[in-house]
Amino acid sequence: MSERVDVDRRAFLQCMAWTGTGLLWSVSGGVLSSRPIGAEAAEAAGPPATFSFAQISDSHLGFKGEANRDVLATFQTAIARIRALDPKPAFLIHTGDITHAQKAGAFDTARQALQSAGVERTFYVPGEHDVFADGGAEYLERFATDPPGRGWQSFDYRGVHFVGLVNVLTYKAGGVGNLGAEQLEWLERDVAGLASSTPIVVFAHVPLWAVYPQWGWVTDDAGRALGYLKRFGSVTVLNGHIHQIMQKVEGNVTFHTARSTAFPQPAPGAAPAPGPMKVPADTLRGVLGIRELTYAAGRDALAVVDRTLA
């Protein structure tokens, strides 16, 4: 079993897909394909969308470096873009690194700004920047209240089962992203009673596939989580952390990493280390963005549209 997971991970790396901006991704019969957003109108004859939701990630409020001197401004632009989406997203998912260095007031600033997104509710999972200073005490007190716990959560929306996972609270020296036994046992119980035809959406900060382990862009026990999801016909996994778009299809599982609203990071291995990457000021907003996801009844997978802030 574990051997098979390792083979899968190698396969992940061999066929990592890179995209430019403004592409609509969809899955048909397990094959990932893309076309320019302008071609969306041609799809109008398809089945009507049941609902859409939005993903925002890596806002890093409090960052003051050269890569973006005003991360609050780009965050507010991202929120304005979400507010302008038509149809209106049912809810918003923030996939972590809300703050840059957990400085006082940053969480409040984020929450207040997100109130203007015009969505009924925002679901959060933490990034390591949200929990490193105090082991997650402040984050959990603010965000893990409904239900109170360790930050992981699940909910159902119009027949789709959503699962938010936390993979940044058990960092150890020399380690990488990790879910931990307690959360994995919870996940196994959480999905046990669901029909295999239930569409699943998983969201977490650090990618649940081996994007680039040398930089810690991996969750070491994700294989076990994905094992519990293997029987489901449609699984969509949404991550942040790496501040760039990557997709990967593995059986019925489609992985998507998101852009940041704050600054880009280098492509894997393209720099000595990960971290904020400086780009010419007039191109910055072209590498930041938000994501809109649409679930259409009767389709195999969610339609995913990434939009830049340019």
- Where do contacts with another protein occur on this chain (CB under 8 A)? 64-67, 100-102, 128-129, 132-133, 171-176, 215-216, 272-276
d(CA 107, CA 143): 10
User: What is the token pair recorded at 150?
Assistant: 């360790």
Residue 240 beta carbon to another protein: minimum distance, rounded to whole angstroms:
15
CB 194 within 8 A of CB 153: no
Nearer to another protein, 241 or 291 (CB): 241
User: What is the token pair recorded at 217?
Assistant: 């862009």
Q: What SS3 state is found at 267?
A: coil
Nearer to another protein, 89 or 216 (CB): 216
Q: Tokens 């009507």 belong to which residue?
A: 48
Nearest to 126 by CA among 115, 117, 135, 113: 135
Mark 2-33 as b/e (b = at least 16 C-beta within 10 Å).
eeeeeebbeebeeeeeeeeebbbbbbeeeebe
* DSSP classification of residue 148: B
Residue 298 beta carbon to another protein: minimum distance, rounded to whole angstroms:
43
Residue 172 beta carbon to another protein: minimum distance, rounded to whole angstroms:
6
Nearer to another protein, 48 or 174 (CB): 174
Residue 67 beta carbon to another protein: minimum distance, rounded to whole angstroms:
6
Nearer to another protein, 216 or 223 (CB): 216
Residue 310 beta carbon to another protein: minimum distance, rounded to whole angstroms:
22
CB 287 within 8 A of CB 65: no
Q: HSE of 194 in the Cβ direction (CA atoms, 13 Å)?
A: 26
Nearer to another protein, 223 or 276 (CB): 276
Residue 128 beta carbon to another protein: minimum distance, rounded to whole angstroms:
5
Nearer to another protein, 3 or 66 (CB): 66
Nearer to another protein, 35 or 64 (CB): 64
How many beta carbons lie within 10 A of that of residue 112, not counting itself?
10
Nearest to 127 by CA among 206, 62, 235, 224: 206
Residue 71 beta carbon to another protein: minimum distance, rounded to whole angstroms:
12
Nearer to another protein, 207 or 216 (CB): 216
Q: What SS3 state is found at 25?
A: strand
Residue 5 beta carbon to another protein: minimum distance, rounded to whole angstroms:
21
Q: Tokens 């929306």 belong to which residue?
A: 157
What torsion do the CA atoms of 51, 57, 61, 67 make, to the nearest 10 degrees?
A: -130
d(CA 289, CA 255): 17
